[in-house]
Structure 1
Amino acid sequence: MKPFILAGTLGLSLLLSGCVISVDGDGHDGYQSDWQKKERSNRKEVARLQPNLSTGEVMDRMGVADFSEFVKKGDDQYHVLYYRTQRKDDDGVTTKDECTPLVIKNDQLVGWGDSALNMLNQ
């Protein structure tokens, strides 16, 4: 009788262990929804930006940038903040081509997007 109970308990535990693997079952993991929420939130905040915001105001709204660059041209100081707004490759790594650049000149937001960045590079 004991071997039967032991074998039954072992068999039942093996069968039930597979139930833990897929609890959600919708095919989406938490990581995927996290980056999608972040991109959506960043796009929403970029759409609400106004010229002449200070660096502090931008960072209060947007949070920590995915990338940050600083350039000095003559007497002007440029700070470029990159925020992830789109996914290009499903590799789990954020790259600059997946981000929207925000260009800040002398602590004032002067533009965002590729055209603002291109203006800085001229």
Structure 2
Amino acid sequence: MNKKVITRIVLALAAYFVFVMLVVIFYDDSPDQMKWDDREAYNRQFIAKIKLNEFTFEHALEELGSPDITEAKQIDDTRFQVMFYRTQHVKSDGITTQDECTFLLFIDGVLKEIGLGNNYPDNWKIITPYQQST
């Protein structure tokens, strides 16, 4: 190979390296910026790996972004927070509903339960077992 070809290869590699570094530094890859179908897939894959009692409310916000639906309640000194993340497309109406989501139940900031949104009981009946065990 002559010197001209080698120079062009080195310049191309250098340009590629600069491009990759710019993408890594400036591209915001948070779930909030994803298209809805990509975010659903990301949420499903991430939630499948979560371990109960080891995942916190703050981790959820960092890794999954803002929830699609959220509810919170405090009973005595115990804080209950339920976050719904969209994980399955049901109807193309532009509105995210609980039956399209997976819920994460946090008690005092620690994940205690994961379930499909359509299995989420109304009126906070889900917290009754946790009240009795405290």
TM-score by length of 1: 0.65
RMSD: 2.3
Asked if the contact 2:40/2:86 (under 8 Å) is kept, the reply is yes
Where does 1:14-33 land on structure 2 (aligned, <5 Å)? none
Residue 93 of structure 1 deviates from its aligned partner by 1.4
Aligned to 2:18: none
Asked if the contact 1:103/1:117 (under 8 Å) is kept, the reply is no
Matched, 1:44 2:45: yes
Which of 83, 94, 111 is equivalent to 1:92? 94
Query: Structure 1, unaligned stretches of length 5 or more?
Result: 1-32
Query: Structure 2, unaligned stretches of length 5 or more?
Result: 1-33, 130-134
Identity of aligned residues (%): 29
Residue 114 of structure 1 deviates from its aligned partner by 4.2
TM-score by length of 2: 0.59
- Paired residues in the alignment total 90
Residues 47-100 of structure 1: CA deviation (Å, up to 9, x unaligned): 011112221112112111001110122331100000000111111211121111
Residue 34 of structure 1 deviates from its aligned partner by 2.1
Asked which structure has the greater CA Rg, the reply is 1
Which of 107, 115, 127 is equivalent to 1:120? 127
Say if 1:96 and 1:64 are closer, same or farther in 2 by CA, change over 3 A.
same
Asked if the contact 1:84/1:100 (under 8 Å) is kept, the reply is yes
Asked if the contact 2:88/2:100 (under 8 Å) is kept, the reply is yes
Say if 1:114 and 1:73 are closer, same or farther in 2 by CA, change over 3 A.
farther
Divergent runs of 4+, >4 A: 114-118
Say if 1:83 and 1:121 are closer, same or farther in 2 by CA, change over 3 A.
farther
